[in-house]
């Protein structure tokens, strides 16, 4: 799967994509992640990408020209991308949306910044706006990294054990069940006997019950949208 990220601060994304699972997936050719500097499409000599808003007000707004030029050039490369604007006004990212985005062969992520982008970018260029939560970041770079990680780990082969993604929190509308590892006793705290029993059906039932319990305690709102009462 291919990700193109359009930003004025490409250095912010060097770390997240050069470590751990994403790095290995890139090395194996499972993920193609390309970070592009928006200023490359801005007019010389100043390569300006923003300007003051019409009507006055604080802050700066991304100009339409470099964004349109960048997206139109990148979209000329096959496969054609699904163009996403990272914005606090967008659809909130969740596991269902991550799986939906997995169905796109290629994502082009535009990192907003300052007071946002010229409205004509929203109206005539992007396919979808996405937010990672009801809060404001300084820019869309961190949100882009979150989307790449959330979607990328769902690509077949990226995770060593495919069942890991299937068992993650939110995969079935519930939070994840508790996990334990060695030692069986730590400072007097013990691992539940069920997990030591070796009976897989009983263990699975325990995990399901604990997932519902954790969801009811921490995120009861999720139970309203799932079949797990």
pLDDT tens for 75-110 read 999 999 999 999 999 999 999 999 999 999 999 999
Name the E strands within the chain: 2-7, 32-37, 50-51, 61-62, 82-92, 106-111, 128-131, 185-186, 189-190
Confidence of residue 161 (pLDDT cuts 50, 70, 90): confident
According to DSSP, the residues that pair with 94 across neighbouring strands are none
DSSP alpha helices (H): ranges in 61-125?
64-75, 95-102, 119-124
120 and 84 together in one domain: yes
Please say if the pLDDT value at position 225 is more than 80: no
Using CA atoms, how far residue 188 sits from 153, 183, 185, 193, in Å, is 36, 11, 6, 14
Please say if the pLDDT value at position 171 is more than 90: no
Residue 189 belongs to some domain of the structure? yes
CATH number, position 13: 3.40.1280.10
Residue where a domain stops, chosen among 104, 124, 152: 152
Q: Does 88 qualify as catalytic in the annotation?
A: yes
Residue where a domain stops, chosen among 100, 117, 152: 152
CATH number, position 216: 1.10.1270.20
Q: Does 141 qualify as catalytic in the annotation?
A: no
Tell me the pLDDT tens digit for each residue of 28-70: 999 999 999 999 999 988 899 999 999 999 899 999 999 999 9
Number of domains into which the chain is organized: 2
43 and 134 together in one domain: yes
Residue 159 belongs to some domain of the structure? no
192 and 146 together in one domain: no
Give the pLDDT score at 173.
Answer: 82
42 and 132 together in one domain: yes
95 and 198 together in one domain: no
Give the pLDDT score at 162.
Answer: 67
* Cα–Cα distance for residue pair 196/56, rounded to 1 Å: 66
Find the catalytic residue in 10, 64, 88, 178: 88
* Paired tokens of 69: 């030029």
Residue 161 belongs to some domain of the structure? no
- Three-state SS at 11: helix
Give the pLDDT score at 74.
Answer: 98
Residue 196 belongs to some domain of the structure? yes
Residue where a domain stops, chosen among 120, 152, 184: 152
Question: Taking the CA of residue 173 as centre, how many other CA atoms within 13 Å lie in the half-sphere pointing to its CB?
Answer: 10
Residue 209: give the domain boundaries. Answer: 167-223
Q: Does 153 qualify as catalytic in the annotation?
A: yes
113 and 207 together in one domain: no
Find the catalytic residue in 94, 115, 149, 176: 115
189 and 118 together in one domain: no
- Three-state SS at 220: helix
Confidence of residue 114 (pLDDT cuts 50, 70, 90): confident
137 and 30 together in one domain: yes
Residue 228 belongs to some domain of the structure? no
DSSP 8-class letter at 117: B
Find the catalytic residue in 94, 128, 168, 172: 168
């Amino acid at each position: 799967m291919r990700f193109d990220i359009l930003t004025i601060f490409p250095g912010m994304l060097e770390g997240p994509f050069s470590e751990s699972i994403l790095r290995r997936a890139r090395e194996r050719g499972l993920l193609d992640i390309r970070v592009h500097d928006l200023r490359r499409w801005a007019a010389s000599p100043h390569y300006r990408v923003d300007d003051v808003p019409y009507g006055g007000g604080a802050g700066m707004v991304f100009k339409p020209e470099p964004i349109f030029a960048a997206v139109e050039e990148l979209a000329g490369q096959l496969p054609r991308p699904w163009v996403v604007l990272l914005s606090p006004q967008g659809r909130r990212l969740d596991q269902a949306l991550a799986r939906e985005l997995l169905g796109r062969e290629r994502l082009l992520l535009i990192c907003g910044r300052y007071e946002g982008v010229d409205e004509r970018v929203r109206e005539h260029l992007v396919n979808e706006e996405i937010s990672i939560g009801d809060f404001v970041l300084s820019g869309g770079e961190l949100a882009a990294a979150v989307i790449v990680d959330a979607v990328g780990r769902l690509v077949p082969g990226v995770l060593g054990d495919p069942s890991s993604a299937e068992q993650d929190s939110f995969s079935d509308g519930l939070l994840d069940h508790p996990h334990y590892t060695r030692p069986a006793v730590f400072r007097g705290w013990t691992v539940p006997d069920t997990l030591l029993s070796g009976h897989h059906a009983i263990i699975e039932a325990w995990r399901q019950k604990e997932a519902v319990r954790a969801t009811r305690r921490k995120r009861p709102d999720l139970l309203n949208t799932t079949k797990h009462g």
